[in-house]
């Protein structure tokens, strides 16, 4: 019976999970995946096996899953039943912020959790929920290895000039710097690029409710659109993206907004939702005839176009553009508009291939190769978790 690695990706009201069997040679094979969503309101557990057969599709009571930490109990009980006695080697977690100290996955203990909790102000939407399942599992299974895999780690290869703000040195030393996020997604994409792009200069656009872009030079991140927090860069579902800090000073001085009010504005009231006044969902905006919806889409495309040029400049040119994540993988309309705007780079779109979803969506004569590549953050987390566990075992055996 194969051993397994469990991957947990927790958000504010949902827990995505995937179970991987460890086959000979430490090859990883997904056996089931699912999501427990509606936590705190209408919790619902749904999962399918690797053959897409429905394994569970049922509501839970609000008491069973009042919060993310509590939801781990019914989810854990269901997963233990699916393991049917097989060994669970480790649980790998997506943790959005690793700070300046972590450039690689790490086995979690109480000290690591305390260290990561200090980073909550830098990722208030994500970090508390990333840590909640870790603490829940530690309370019931302190013997079970847990591995934190960081969205910031892939970007630690940035040159210093890319990570600096033009502020006094003391702030940089205490950790006020550009970190970049979505690193697990970018790391996966970098590992599956075709040879020309793997050795070249590729801009990867991770476009979803959270959106960012990354300059990948010969497989390494050299710059990205997100910075100190996951607010910077592209407009997102409800997050501002780039904003002049003077706007925040204006709101503080003229409207007496405090930090909590600013946080709600920046993280929950802006982005596509704020621009359109309609929705944070790109599908709704593309289907709407409202001028404000058109403005939100236009702004999103404009910022992607502009950031592509900026990231290409950071690499001294561009060989490829990759679209990934929810919007990037599933919206031909957004891909078409971005590619049309980048025709000056020598990018020629293959319209039929784009509508079909690729993977190659540029023409044979296009100087810049455009592709659609589905990301797999969960597989990256499983790989990192198993590798970290094996490394620890080897160290203990010496």
Residues annotated catalytic, as ranges: 151
Question: SS3 for the chain, per residue?
Answer: CCEEEEEEEECCCCEEEEEEEEEHHHEEEEEEEEEEECCCCCCEEEEEECCCCEEEEEECCCCCCCCHHHHHHHHHHHHHHHHCCCCEEEEEEEECCCCCCCCCCEECCHHHHHHHHCCHHHCCCCHHHHHHHHHHHHHHCCCCCEEEEECCHHHHHCCHHHHCCCCCHHHHHCCCCCCCCCHHHHHHHHHHCCHHHHCCEEEEEEECCCEEEEEEECCEEEEECCCCCCCCCCCCCCCCCCCCHHHHHHHHHHHCCCHHHHHHHHHHCCHHHHHHCCCCCHHHHHHCCCHHHHHHHHHHHHHHHHHHHHHHHHHCCCCEEEEEHHHHHHCHHHHHHHHHHCHHHCCCECHHHHHHCCCECECCCCCCEEEECCCCHHHHHHHHHHHHHHHHHHHHHC
């Amino acid at each position: 019976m194969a051993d397994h690695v469990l991957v947990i990706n927790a958000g504010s009201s949902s827990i995505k999970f995937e179970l991987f069997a460890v086959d000979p040679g430490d090859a990883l094979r997904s056996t089931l995946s699912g999501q427990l969503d509606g936590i705190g309101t209408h919790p619902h557990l749904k999962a399918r096996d690797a053959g897409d057969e429905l394994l569970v599709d049922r509501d839970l009571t609000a008491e069973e899953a009042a919060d993310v930490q509590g939801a781990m109990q019914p989810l854990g009980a269901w997963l233990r039943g699916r393991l049917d006695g097989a060994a669970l080697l480790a649980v790998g977690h997506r943790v959005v912020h690793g700070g300046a100290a972590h450039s690689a996955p790490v086995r979690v203990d109480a000290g690591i959790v305390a260290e990561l909790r200090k980073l909550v102000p830098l990722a208030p939407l994500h970090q508390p929920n990333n840590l909640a399942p870790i603490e829940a599992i530690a309370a019931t299974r302190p013997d079970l290895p847990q591995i934190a895999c960081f969205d910031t780690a892939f970007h630690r290869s940035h040159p210093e000039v890319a990570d600096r703000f033009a502020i006094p040195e003391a702030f940089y030393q205490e950790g006020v710097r550009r970190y970049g996020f979505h690193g697990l997604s970018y790391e996966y994409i970098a590992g599956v690029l075709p040879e020309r792009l793997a050795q070249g200069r590729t801009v990867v656009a991770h476009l979803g409710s959270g959106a960012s872009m990354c300059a990948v030079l010969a497989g390494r991140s050299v710059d990205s659109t997100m910075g100190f927090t996951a607010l910077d860069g592209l407009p997102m579902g409800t997050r501002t993206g780039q904003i002049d800090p003077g706007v925040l000073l204006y709101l503080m001085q003229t409207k007496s907004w405090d930090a909590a009010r600013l946080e709600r504005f920046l993280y929950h009231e802006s982005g596509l939702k704020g621009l359109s006044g309609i929705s944070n969902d790109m599908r709704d905006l593309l289907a709407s005839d409202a001028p404000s919806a058109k403005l939100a889409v236009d702004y999103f495309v404009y910022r992607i176009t502009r950031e592509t040029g900026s990231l290409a400049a950071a690499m001294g040119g561009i060989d490829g553009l990759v679209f990934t994540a929810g919007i990037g993988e599933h919206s031909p309309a957004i891909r078409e508009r971005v590619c049309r705007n980048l025709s000056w780079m020598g990018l020629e779109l293959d319209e039929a291939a784009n509508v079909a979803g690729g993977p190659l969506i540029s023409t044979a004569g296009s100087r810049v190769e455009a592709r659609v590549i589905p990301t797999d953050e969960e597989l990256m987390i499983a790989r990192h978790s198993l590798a970290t566990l094996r490394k620890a075992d080897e160290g203990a055996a010496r």
